[in-house]
Structures are given as C-alpha cells and as structure tokens.
Chain A
Amino acid sequence: GESVGLHLPTLSVQEGDNSIINCAYSNSASDYFIWYKQESGKGPQFIIDIRSNMDKRQGQRVTVLLNKTVKHLSLQIAATQPGDSAVYFCADGGTSYGKLTFGQGTILTVHP
C-alpha cells in the first residue's frame, strides 16, 4: 500500500520486467478509481480507471485490479519501458463524479 508522509515509496525495475504498483484506500463505499502517471514537470496523465462492479480491467500494457474486500488497488505494467519512469498515483473517486482523493504516489524507475 502507499505510505503517508514526505517520502514516496519507490519501485525500481529492469526494462522488460513487469511492474506492480499498489494502493490502499479507506472508503469502503467508493465506487470509482483512477490511476494517473505524472512525469517530471507535467500534470497527471490519465492511465486507466475501474468501477467497483469490476475486479479487473485491462488497457494497453496496463491492468488494474480492485479488491474491495481489503480495499486494495493495484496497477500492473507489462514489459516496463524506460518511458514508464514516473510517479504513479491512485485516486479514489468516492461515490459520485467530482472530487478525487489522491494516494501519496509511487516513484517508478525503469533501468535500461
């Protein structure tokens, strides 16, 4: 899960490996979640979302898994590339469209 505080969790992987980034949320009523990627000097970029009526959703090279029982969310990146290096945030969309509550973020570093 993501830590709270000034020091972001880090994940270092080799190019070509699969990456898994985890996130815990607190609101059991939340029904919408989003993963964002933020590169240095840029705004967060939408990656993939999932609703609570699903436990898995796949995109291009990415998969999001949702475990509502333990309030846990994960982002899997297949065949990680150096361009995937960034800070990854999960966001909890609550029960209605609008306000997002962001997790603390995970720094992903991909080594060539």
Chain B
Amino acid sequence: SAVISQKPSRDICQRGTSLTIQCQVDSQVTMMFWYRQQPGQSLTLIATANQGSEATYESGFVIDKFPISRPNLTFSTLTVSNMSPEDSSIYLCSVESFMTGGSGEQYFGPGTRLTVT
C-alpha cells in the first residue's frame, strides 16, 4: 500500500483565517481524495483532487471554501478558507492506486486535526 503523509498533523486556528493542508504520497497514484471527519462522526467526501484540472466537489462543498490543488501524481493540498468553529474536524486525504494491479483500494493518510477558536 502507499505511504501517505499529511502536514500539519494538527493546528489551532483563529476564525476568519485559512489553513492549507498538504498530502504527500510516496508513489504515483491515479486518484486522490479529501475527506472530512467531524468529531465523533464518520467520514464525508469533500472532493476528488484531479491532476491538472479543477477538483470535483461533492454536494455541500464549494471551491471557494475548500480550494484544492493537485500539481502532480504524488501531492495535493486542501485549503480551509475563512474558518469558523464549525470547520473544526479531522481532514484526511486518501489515494487510490492501480499500480500494484489491485482493485482500487483506497488508503488514508493520518489526518490533520483542526480546531478553530
């Protein structure tokens, strides 16, 4: 499986500011995704990070609030903009790779724990 790292691992931010989260994979992957996990809850897909084109957002998530970049096949960023306390969550990136001839299994990074005060 791919090794995925995220930076920062956690942060405490003031409302109204923005935070950019980085996701780095140790091998080229076909697809990268960003999820949000609110406290004590399950994971919700924010968007699919497309290499070389605009991200594909799920219902309820917009580019102005969560701009995403994916400049190459191993790296992506998610920005949480104009933060409010409701944005306090764990943000996770995941990747899907067919490099090993696998079936499209998705693997997750360790997450970024964001607290907005």
Contacts and interface: CB of A to CB of B under 8 A. Distances in A.
Interface string B6-22: 00000000000000000
A25 interface: no
B44 A97 contact: no
Interface in A55-112: 89, 91, 93, 97-105
Interface residues of B, number: 25
A100 B42 contact: no
Contacts, number: 58
B43 A102 contact: yes
A102 B44 contact: yes
Given A42-B111, A97-B31, A102-B42, A51 B103 contact: yes
Nearest to A107: B40
B44 A43 contact: no
Interface residues of A, number: 25
Contacts of B96: 97-98
Contact of A42 (B94, B106, B107, B110): B110
Interface string A47-58: 001010000000
Interface of B: 1, 4, 31, 33, 40-45, 48, 58, 92, 94, 96, 103-111, 113
17 contacts: A32-B104, A41-B113, A42-B110, A43-B92, A44-B43, A45-B108, A46-B1, A49-B103, A51-B103, A91-B106, A98-B96, A100-B33, A100-B45, A102-B42, A103-B42, A104-B42, A105-B42
